[in-house]
Structures are given as structure tokens and as C-alpha cells.
Amino acid sequence: MHFQGQKFSKQIVDLDGNTFDNCKFHHCQFRYKGTGDTMMQYCEIVKCDLTFAENAEQMIWFLQRLYQEGGVYGKGFVDKLIDHIKAGPQHRQQSSENPYGFVVNSENKK
């Protein structure tokens, strides 16, 4: 669903499968399940929280375990992922085999 210029206040907002353009969110609870694409652009977000459920919750659990129990390489993998997230989409190295551009260097020893 596409939301344009809408205001959301004190409610649960499901992100999966939705596009939000120029919307305002105040004191909302974002819920992301990892079941559909989500796009947010030119939105104002004030005092909102984000919760993960279903597939997304499983991914967060996996990354936590990898970081905590994966040794040097597990920590390096998660750190690299966080750096990639911070860099934004303009820094992705895209290819047909790796459309998200995430490359893990096994030499990365943080």
C-alpha cells in the first residue's frame, strides 16, 4: 500500500509491503516482519519505536548469536554489516550474484 502525506500518531504501523512518502509519525510503534519490501522517503519520525517480528525477529536473533558466539569472524561479519547499513545504498557493490552488495572479507579481524 502507498501512503502519501499522511499523519500517524500513537498507533502500530506495519511496515512490510508499504511505501511511505512525506508522512509524519509521532509516538508510533513500527512493526517490521521481514515479509515485504518497505520504502520510506521524506518522512518525519518523532519518538517512535521499532519492533521486529516473524522473519525479521529470527534474523535479529541470528545476528545476535553470530556476534556473541561466532568468534572473531562472527563479530567481524556483524560489524561489517552495520558499517554497510550506515554507509547507505549509494555505497553498495551490486552484482547479479549479490544484489545487495554485501561482501564479507574473511580477513576482517576486528
- Same domain (yes/no): 40, 6: yes
Burial of 77 (0-12, 13-18, 19+ CB in 10 A): buried
What's the pLDDT at 50?
Answer: 95
- 64: in domain: no
Closest CA to 14 of 34, 45, 62, 4: 34
Give the pLDDT confidence of 3-27 residue by residue, as tens digits. 999 999 999 999 999 999 999 999 9
User: Do the domain assignments include residue 47?
Assistant: yes
Q: What is the pLDDT of residue 25?
A: 97
Q: Is residue 58 part of a domain?
A: no
The C-alpha cell of 28 is what? 508510533
Pair 44, 74 in one domain:
no
Residues 34/17, Cβ–Cβ less than 8 Å: no
Beta strands in the chain (DSSP E): 2-4, 7-9, 12-14, 19-21, 24-26, 29-32, 39-41, 44-46, 49-52
Is 9 inside a domain boundary?
A: yes
Q: Is residue 41 a contact partner of residue 3, using CB atoms and an 8 Å limit? A: no
pLDDT (0 to 100) of residue 84: 87
Shared-domain flag, residues 47 and 74 = no
Model pLDDT, residue 97? 54
pLDDT of residue 94: 52
* Residue range(s) defining the domain that contains residue 79: 70-110
Q: pTM of the full predicted structure?
A: 0.71
As for how many domains the chain has, the answer is 2
Lowest mean pLDDT among 39-43, 60-64, 87-91: 87-91
